[in-house]
Amino acid sequence: MSEDLKNRLDKYLSNARPWFDKLRLNETDNPGIDGVGEHFFEMASSYYSDALHFYKNKEYVKSLAALEYAEGWLDAGCTLGLFNKIEK
């Protein structure tokens, strides 16, 4: 199982990197959400960094979990209109 999971993570992690490179914050006229986009991006980036850390330490299940959290923050930001739509 570990080798299969590692192979999947290789693919998932390499596919995730462009999301962060292409992501752009949308401007908003709502002062009530100032800084929210930056916070969402920071959370996603932190989880992605954690995923890489766990991967390097061969903690593949933790790496996958952290990557899923990163994707969740990015997807939520897109849904709320904080980011541009991410093309995979």
Domains of the chain: 2-79 (1.20.1270)
**Residue 6 host element (H or E):** helix 2-22
Rounded-to-integer distance, Cα 59 and Cα 38, Å: 28
Per the DSSP assignment, residues forming a β-bridge with 83 are 25
Q: Which is higher by pLDDT, 69 or 88?
A: 69
Summarised one tens digit per residue, pLDDT across range 13-65 is: 999 888 878 888 888 777 777 789 899 999 999 999 999 999 999 999 999 99
Q: What is the pLDDT of residue 86?
A: 59
Query: Phi first, then psi: what are they for 28, rounded to 5°?
Result: -130, 150
DSSP symbols for 36-86: HHHHHHHHHHHHHHHHHHHHHTT-HHHHHHHHHHHHHHHHHHHHTTSBPPP
pTM given for the model: 0.85
Q: What is the pLDDT of residue 87?
A: 63
